[in-house]
A and B are shown apart, each in its own frame.
Chain A
Amino acid sequence: MAQENLLFSKDHEWLRVEGDTVVVGVTDYAQHELGDVVYVDLPALGKELKKGDPAANIESVKAVSDVYAPVSGKITEVNKDLNNTPELVNQEPFAGGWIFKIGMTQASELQELMDAKKYEEYLKGIAGE
């Protein structure tokens, strides 16, 4: 299920590197755990975040989950489609369900993330618990 050219965080965010910017969303595992997404609270453009800060949050009917900034930087774009169609997070978690873009300030932080293979192993580990 993991996409080959993406990086992953322990909180089930995925990133796609596009030069100095990363596109961030949540993985298929995350959307499945969340259930039907009813609302996404997007971050303000220009907001400055440190790695690990809560950036957005996703609401399903019975729960709310924070989406954390997997790297430090500034919010450069948000996916406005989620305002009318929050279900994109469920339907296309890796494509149309992307959430925000960060202009990185510390590209070295990318090293701390998992690649597709490590994320798959990580998921297997969780399932085993």
Chain B
Amino acid sequence: MTALPKLIFDLSREGKIGCGLAEADVPAEPVIDSACLRAGIADFPEVSEVEIVRHYMALSRLNYSLDAGFYPLGSCTMKYNPKINEKLAAGDEFQAHPYAPHDLVQGNLEIMARLEEWLVVLTGMAGFTLTPAAGAHGEFTGMLVIRKYLQEKGDARKVVLIPDSAHGTNPASAHFAGYEIREIPSNAQGIIGIEELRAHLKPDVAALMMTNPNTLGIFESNISAIAEALHANGSLLYMDGANLNALLGIVRPGDLGVDVMHINLHKTFATPHGGGGPGSGPVGVASHLLPFLPVPRVRRNQDRFEVVYDDPRSIGRVKNFYGQFLVMVRALAYLLALGRENVRRVAEDAVLNANYIRKKLEGVLDLPYKTPSLHEVVFSDHGLPVKTLDIAKRLLDYGFHPFTIYFPLIVHGAMMIEPTETESKETLDEFIGVMNTILREARENPELLRQAPVQTPVRRLDETLAARKPVLKWRRGENI
């Protein structure tokens, strides 16, 4: 096993130069009192360019990545990140200051307008804001839109219903939008039952936040009836679009009665995850909610593109500038490459792959919900001689990134598997083979799993210590 790289601070030596920039060539003196200036940046690294390249190359070798292998994380849609999109996004011609006069950036505004047009066709929503920076940011934005809409109607309500299978960002976003959360349980089929909804539907309910397909990978088949019941109650339907990959070209949320939804460009639309971001979370709304979308919005005016900055009924601004523009460039490139012929194929192959895995593993793992799966399948640890965690760690030894573990919370020892459509049958078969091997190991020699991983650069890091005695930065003289 290779030795771990030193910290950049331990490579630092006085006098080393990483970047050679010339001194200022202007004849000027500072106009700030020298007492207000810093004397230097103590302990800041001084490392040569050569050593910096070596340092980060060494770090890169410690990372598993999607480029390197299968990443079956549930509800994350880890699909292939096309390389041409990186080249296009890096193009000098798209670089511009966000305050550039609009006539100088018509190409960029066109990119945003065209992306919005694609999203409208795919989802059946009337219009989108592209400004939110991530899914959670989109959820927060969507909940603010709902709240403003209801306030304007003189019908301010306090409660949002959220299923017990929901991702944690749902209640968190609703809370920051000023709502109280009321949890609604999933039924034996793993979905929200219409009677259960009606029982929870009081006059104080502003909205239901629903993920569809939900975090069990199951289509919320009561959605139309649910939308009707909500609307009759004066409530709205919010859809968390994290799992949109299962529905592309198959069905449009707007046609099912969804009032507000967010999309994750870094999931369904193939933009790279970057180790945790940047994402982009556009929010789409039905026509009656358009006036409340955040500013700014890009508008096509024949062959010119304009920006609307003020809208008296808008919820306001949720971010600096226009949003995650270079992420939008990648998403549009992805869609243009797919074209109308392949959009539906994405969902079909994603669902086919997930069902193939389900069929092959349902004999050896417990499937808590027998309802059909769409693009992801969730198994439980019921009947296993080891913990879900141990299976996940052993997968690392076989060169696979594990699936999502312990989520959704309603499944004990949950294993959430989403292969996506960009995986080959060979990869799926290999994964299935390895899972069978590991489950056999679990029966015959469980210690192998409990000791796993043994092939990785570090093993079973002490997260308790990290939380009890947080060390969140390097300090001279301390650290290992």
At the interface, yes or no: B42 with Cβ under 8 Å from chain A?
A: no
Which residues of chain B come closer than 8 Å to A60, judged between CB atoms? 464
Which residues of chain A come closer than 8 Å to B463, judged between CB atoms? 61
Which residues of chain B come closer than 8 Å to A36, judged between CB atoms? 464, 468
At the interface, yes or no: B467 with Cβ under 8 Å from chain A?
A: yes
Q: In residues 450-472 of chain B, which contact A (Cβ within 8 Å)? A: 463-464, 467-468
Q: Write the chain B residue with the least CB distance to A59.
A: B467
At the interface, yes or no: A86 with Cβ under 8 Å from chain B?
A: yes
Q: Write the chain A residue with the least CB distance to B467.
A: A38
Q: How far is the CA of A87 from the CA of B465 in the complex (A)?
A: 10
Q: How far is the CA of A113 from the CA of B440 in the complex (A)?
A: 47
Which residues of chain B come closer than 8 Å to A59, judged between CB atoms? 467
Expressed in whole angstroms, the minimum distance between the Cβ of A60 and any Cβ of chain B is 8
Count A/B pairs, Cβ under 8 Å.
15
Expressed in whole angstroms, the minimum distance between the Cβ of A41 and any Cβ of chain B is 13
Q: How far is the CA of A9 from the CA of B33 in the complex (A)?
A: 65
Expressed in whole angstroms, the minimum distance between the Cβ of B404 and any Cβ of chain A is 14
Q: How far is the CA of A86 from the CA of B467 in the complex (A)?
A: 11
Which residues of chain A come closer than 8 Å to B406, judged between CB atoms? 62
Q: How far is the CA of A87 from the CA of B406 in the complex (A)?
A: 24
Which residues of chain A come closer than 8 Å to B468, judged between CB atoms? 36, 38-39, 86-87
Expressed in whole angstroms, the minimum distance between the Cβ of A33 and any Cβ of chain B is 14
Expressed in whole angstroms, the minimum distance between the Cβ of B73 and any Cβ of chain A is 17
Which residues of chain A come closer than 8 Å to B464, judged between CB atoms? 36, 38, 60-61
Expressed in whole angstroms, the minimum distance between the Cβ of A125 and any Cβ of chain B is 19
Q: In residues 35-70 of chain A, which contact B (Cβ within 8 Å)? A: 36, 38-39, 59-62
Q: In residues 57-115 of chain A, which contact B (Cβ within 8 Å)? A: 59-62, 86-87
Q: How far is the CA of A87 from the CA of B467 in the complex (A)?
A: 11
When each residue 384-414 of chain B gets 1 if its CB lies under 8 Å from chain A and 0 otherwise, what string results?
0000000000000000000000100000000
Expressed in whole angstroms, the minimum distance between the Cβ of A62 and any Cβ of chain B is 8
Q: Write the chain B residue with the least CB distance to A61.
A: B463
Q: How far is the CA of A87 from the CA of B468 in the complex (A)?
A: 9
When each residue 4-43 of chain A gets 1 if its CB lies under 8 Å from chain B and 0 otherwise, what string results?
0000000000000000000000000000000010110000
Q: How far is the CA of A98 from the CA of B406 in the complex (A)?
A: 30
Expressed in whole angstroms, the minimum distance between the Cβ of B202 and any Cβ of chain A is 24
Q: Write the chain A residue with the least CB distance to B406.
A: A62
Q: How far is the CA of A61 from the CA of B470 in the complex (A)?
A: 12
Expressed in whole angstroms, the minimum distance between the Cβ of B112 and any Cβ of chain A is 40
Q: In residues 323-375 of chain B, which contact A (Cβ within 8 Å)? A: none
Q: How far is the CA of A48 from the CA of B464 in the complex (A)?
A: 32
Expressed in whole angstroms, the minimum distance between the Cβ of A81 and any Cβ of chain B is 13
Q: How far is the CA of A60 from the CA of B467 in the complex (A)?
A: 8
Which residues of chain A come closer than 8 Å to B467, judged between CB atoms? 38-39, 59, 61
Q: How far is the CA of A62 from the CA of B464 in the complex (A)?
A: 9
Q: Write the chain B residue with the least CB distance to A35.
A: B464
Q: In residues 420-439 of chain B, which contact A (Cβ within 8 Å)? A: none
Expressed in whole angstroms, the minimum distance between the Cβ of A83 and any Cβ of chain B is 11
Q: How far is the CA of A59 from the CA of B468 in the complex (A)?
A: 10
Q: How far is the CA of A60 from the CA of B463 in the complex (A)?
A: 10
Q: How far is the CA of A85 from the CA of B440 in the complex (A)?
A: 41
Which residues of chain B come closer than 8 Å to A62, judged between CB atoms? 406
Which residues of chain B come closer than 8 Å to A39, judged between CB atoms? 467-468
Q: How far is the CA of A62 from the CA of B468 in the complex (A)?
A: 13
Q: How far is the CA of A36 from the CA of B467 in the complex (A)?
A: 10
Which residues of chain B come closer than 8 Å to A38, judged between CB atoms? 464, 467-468
Q: How far is the CA of A1 from the CA of B463 in the complex (A)?
A: 28
Expressed in whole angstroms, the minimum distance between the Cβ of B392 and any Cβ of chain A is 14
Q: Write the chain B residue with the least CB distance to A86.
A: B468
Q: How far is the CA of A125 from the CA of B425 in the complex (A)?
A: 48
Expressed in whole angstroms, the minimum distance between the Cβ of A96 and any Cβ of chain B is 16
Expressed in whole angstroms, the minimum distance between the Cβ of A11 and any Cβ of chain B is 19
Q: How far is the CA of A38 from the CA of B463 in the complex (A)?
A: 9
Expressed in whole angstroms, the minimum distance between the Cβ of B186 and any Cβ of chain A is 20
Expressed in whole angstroms, the minimum distance between the Cβ of A50 and any Cβ of chain B is 20
Q: How far is the CA of A13 from the CA of B464 in the complex (A)?
A: 23
Supply 15 A–B pairs (Cβ within 8 Å), ascending by A.
A36-B464, A36-B468, A38-B464, A38-B467, A38-B468, A39-B467, A39-B468, A59-B467, A60-B464, A61-B463, A61-B464, A61-B467, A62-B406, A86-B468, A87-B468
B residues neighboring A (CB under 8 Å) = 406, 463-464, 467-468
Q: Contacts A38-B464, A38-B468 given; 13 further ones with Cβ under 8 A? A: A36-B464, A36-B468, A38-B467, A39-B467, A39-B468, A59-B467, A60-B464, A61-B463, A61-B464, A61-B467, A62-B406, A86-B468, A87-B468
Ranked nearest first, the 10 interchain pairs of A and B with the lowest CB-CB distance are A38-B467, A36-B464, A61-B463, A38-B468, A61-B467, A61-B464, A38-B464, A86-B468, A39-B467, A87-B468
